[in-house]
Chains A and B, each alone.
Chain A
Amino acid sequence: MVLALAGSLVHAGVGLQPTLNPAGWPQLRRFLAAAVEPAASPEFLRLTWEATLTTLAYAVLGTAMALGIGVVAGVVISETWWRRPPSGRSRRRGRVGEVGGWLASRLVVGLPRGVHEAVWGLFLVSILGLDPLVGVLAIGIPYGAVTAKVYAELLDEAPRGPFEALRSAGVGRVRALTYALAPLAFPDLLSYAFYRFECAIRGAAILGIIGAGGLGFQLALSFQSLRYDEMWTLIYALVAVCGLADWWSTTLRRRSALPTRTIAGLPAEREGHDSVVAIRPSLRRDRRLHASAVVAVALVVVSVWHLGIDVSTLWAPRAQRLASEIATSSLPPDLGAANLARLAALGVQTLEMSVIAAVAACVAGMVAAFAVAGGSDGSRPAGALRQVGAIGARGLLLVARAVPPPVGALLLLFVLLPGPLPGALALALYNAGILGRLMAEVVENLDPGPLGALRSQGASPGQGFVYATLPRTLPRFAAFGLYRWEVTIRETVVVGLVGAGGLGRLLGQQLAAFDYRGVTATVAALVVLTFAVDVVSAAVRRSLR
């Protein structure tokens, strides 16, 4: 890992050529100074409010669509679904149909997942035009695929005894699933749905930059006219929406016994035998859950109305004509030797950007997570200084993940010379904001026992940290870091589109030049690269278990 990072940094030009641009410091300072006096004119506030609603609406509808896909596809691609009812002793082996069906269905959801929502957005815009449906589909399709994969894993992880008991009693698959499996997996499914919603808000902001409207779009406009005060108003709006979504998601996810585990695909810490079902707080009588369901439905209705969604666009003759035109002009992909060599070189650069971003985000996130969790250190009340530090760190993390990475990359271009590095660092900041929050949850959910035991036998705070806190958090942090690496390799596209380098930059150029055969090849290269990263990361994560 250290070697990969060092190699990536050197290759990206750190230490070999000038990377800093001292002339840009005054600009950055002016931008930062504007933080204390954001634009507050009534017209601009109204504009911000409208933009906030738009971004929120995309996120809500995108998530709703993703959940619909996730529930249906998640069941279909789960191992449980393809497994026959237990009859006799031989269960796993020699069942080509079972394994084949399961594998094929996995591949179908693997493809949409390999492409970032921004690429989906660009692709859909060229078919549907600037229709609000583009934003919804661009979030819904890739998120639906991810959700399906996670839901399948959660269903497979849920205790299977009750399900198989019903199956061997002759109950059909769907009914057995709804009665014996879904209720057990429900809290985890719900918690993941809310995590997706958080991500969807940030995704909607990024989509805005490439033209879908909303906060991201306004942010890009204000940036182009260098209205830093307006930018800050919009950033604060994003922070508020993200913060609210985080809070909503965390309060609901807390009641699931294993809040953050599902995100990084960590194994269930199941106690005892499969048939022992952990008793969770009754969800049925939970008022907050009820209120959330009502709010969620209301949000969906308002979002449809606000965006003016018209599903018939999908079947309109214009869309069909454009789709067939693009299909003919983008196939076969441009696989000439020159293009392949270029793709390979840029693929390496993309990989380097993702490594730098993931490692830097992991380290920064870890430091921030301990600072945030420092406010609640076991039984002893934290000092005022640490509490202030914890609140400060929380705020920084929130802002870091609210600023869309393309905007971050452009801001970094004030002080860094163009190239892959600003893009990688922007991704690092953004992901540090996300990782820091997830890691802080890990620290806060640690069993205080082992640390308390060490402290009560006279170990110093530093010794307690090294012996009790670090060993229990580092493996999880590493798993989160790897999971985020899989995400950053996809996200290199969005900073690439604003010129930061890698395959994303090439994609932007090809789209601008209507070189659709080139686009197909680049997207294919991205899919291959993300797939490779997924495989490596999954293997390393398994070894961490």
Chain B
Amino acid sequence: MFSLRRAGVRFGSTPALEAVDLEVAAGERVALVGPSGAGKSTLLSLLNGSRRPTEGSAVVLGRDLATVRGSELRHLQRRIGTVYQQHHLVGPLRVVHNVNAGRLGDWSLLEAVRSLLLPADVATAEAALAQVGIAEKLYERTDTLSGGQQQRVALARVLVQRPVAILADEPISSLDPTRAEEIMQLLAGLAGGTGRALVVSLHAVEQALRHCDRLVGLRGGRVLFDAAARDVTTAMVESLYRIGERGPEQGEGAA
């Protein structure tokens, strides 16, 4: 599904990612682990096509990002769903519209506007909300919901989008342990058996080990290790977080 070869991203002269090789197959659950500023968010933005590599190549769903533009790129992006730590929902809109925003790829502008006035396909949105456990919130204003509930709305949005791959950028960082576990279970359940791939960036290595098949350790924009969950050792994890060696890139934008 995703294939990066020697991919790198520079912001001005600062490298955020350097020479990254990564292959993700259908149905795989991959966790990106590493400290803040390791390049996890940048890597995810390559995978969903919102950023192009400045070096090397990135092939997403069989298309080289360097060659797709405009509406072709949009067609590609419709098949990839992304969830963010900050949810990135539209606060003043009702939950149903935020969920339906996952359908924008299928809808024309006119249909999109019409749905804002008279919500279209409410049944689908409601089913998605039921699947993430908050069906009763359908008509609430999104910014009145708690952080955990908003993350569920974001998941419901991805559900109605019916993507072939789900990307999640620190989806549980601002949640308490119970909510975090629930969200991770939901995410893991949406991928795997269905043939849908999941790439999730995580701070908590235990969560990654529990819910993912494979762990990719990032530090300072480079891949330190790429191993099956059962092969990851304490030493490998410690190498990611050891202070003092390489990796002063603290505080990258939305890491």
Contact = CB atoms under 8 A, between A and B. Distances in A.
B81 interface: yes
A466 B48 contact: no
Contact of A475 (B76, B92, B101, B161): B92
B80 A457 contact: yes
Interface in A415-467: 449-450, 452-460, 462-463, 466-467
Given A457-B82, A460-B74, A460-B109, A379 B50 contact: yes
A468 interface: yes
Interface of A: 379, 449-450, 452-460, 462-463, 466-468, 471-472, 475
Contacts of A475: 92
Given A453-B82, A458-B77, 5 more contacts: A454-B101, A457-B78, A458-B74, A458-B76, A459-B104
15 contacts: A450-B88, A452-B50, A455-B50, A456-B45, A456-B49, A456-B50, A458-B79, A459-B105, A460-B104, A462-B109, A466-B109, A466-B112, A467-B93, A471-B92, A475-B92
Contacts of B74: 458-460
B193 interface: no
A74 B70 CA distance: 54
Interface of B: 45, 48-50, 74-82, 84, 86, 88-93, 97, 101-102, 104-105, 107, 109, 112-113, 116, 161, 163
Shortest Cβ-Cβ A-B pairs, 4 listed: A458-B78, A458-B77, A453-B88, A449-B88
Contacts of B80: 456-457
Nearest to B76: A458
A467 B113 CA distance: 8
Contacts of A471: 90, 92-93, 97
A468 B81 CA distance: 17
B43 to A, nearest CB: 14
Contacts of A472: 90-92
A459 B157 CA distance: 13
A467 B75 CA distance: 19
Contacts of B45: 456
Most buried by A among B80, B88, B102: B88
A42 to B, nearest CB: 49
A458 B105 contact: yes
B48 A463 contact: no
A379 B254 CA distance: 13
Given A463-B109, A466-B116, A457 B77 contact: yes
Contacts of B84: 449, 453
B105 A466 contact: no
Contacts of A456: 45, 48-50, 77, 80, 82
Given A450-B88, A452-B50, A466-B109, A458 B75 contact: yes
A454 B103 CA distance: 10
A2 to B, nearest CB: 16
A467 B112 contact: yes
Contact of A449 (B78, B86, B104, B161): B86
Contact of A452 (B88, B97, B109): B88
A467 B91 contact: no
Contacts of A466: 109, 112-113, 116
- Counting chain A CB atoms within 10 Å of each CB, the highest count among B74, B90, B109 belongs to B90
A129 B45 CA distance: 69
Contacts of B101: 454, 459, 467
A281 to B, nearest CB: 16
A457 B102 contact: yes
A462 B113 CA distance: 10
Contacts of B161: 457
Nearest to B116: A466
B75 A450 contact: no
Nearest to B78: A458
A465 B92 CA distance: 14
A270 to B, nearest CB: 14
A405 to B, nearest CB: 33
A362 to B, nearest CB: 18
Contacts of A452: 50, 88
Contacts of A462: 109, 112
A48 B52 CA distance: 54
A380 to B, nearest CB: 9
A386 B22 CA distance: 38
Contacts of B77: 455-458
A184 to B, nearest CB: 25
Contacts of A450: 88-90
A162 B101 CA distance: 43
Nearest to B111: A463
Nearest to B109: A462
A214 B33 CA distance: 66
A463 B104 contact: yes
Contacts of B116: 466-467
Identify the interface centre among B49, B50, B97: most chain A CB within 10 Å of its CB.
Answer: B50
A379 B84 CA distance: 17
Nearest to B92: A471
A472 B89 CA distance: 11
A210 to B, nearest CB: 43
A525 to B, nearest CB: 38
A449 B161 CA distance: 18
- Give the residue among A449, A458, A475 with the most B Cβ atoms within 10 A: A458
B42 to A, nearest CB: 12
Contacts of B107: 463
A298 B208 CA distance: 62
A463 B105 CA distance: 9
A472 B93 CA distance: 8
Contacts of A453: 82, 84, 88-89
Contacts of A467: 90, 93, 97, 101, 104, 112, 116
A455 B107 CA distance: 14
A386 B102 CA distance: 28
Contacts of B78: 457-458
A159 to B, nearest CB: 21
Contacts of B76: 458
Contacts of B113: 466
B77 to A, nearest CB: 4
A53 B49 CA distance: 55
A452 B84 CA distance: 11
Nearest to B51: A379
A416 B113 CA distance: 38
A82 B89 CA distance: 41
Contacts of B112: 462-463, 466-467
Chain B CB within 10 A, most for which of A455, A460, A463: A463
A452 B82 CA distance: 11
Nearest to A470: B116
Contacts of A458: 74-79, 104-105
Contacts of A379: 50
Contacts of B48: 456-457
A417 B174 CA distance: 63
A319 to B, nearest CB: 54
A273 to B, nearest CB: 15
B86 A457 contact: no
Given A466-B112, A466-B113, A466-B116, A457 B105 contact: yes
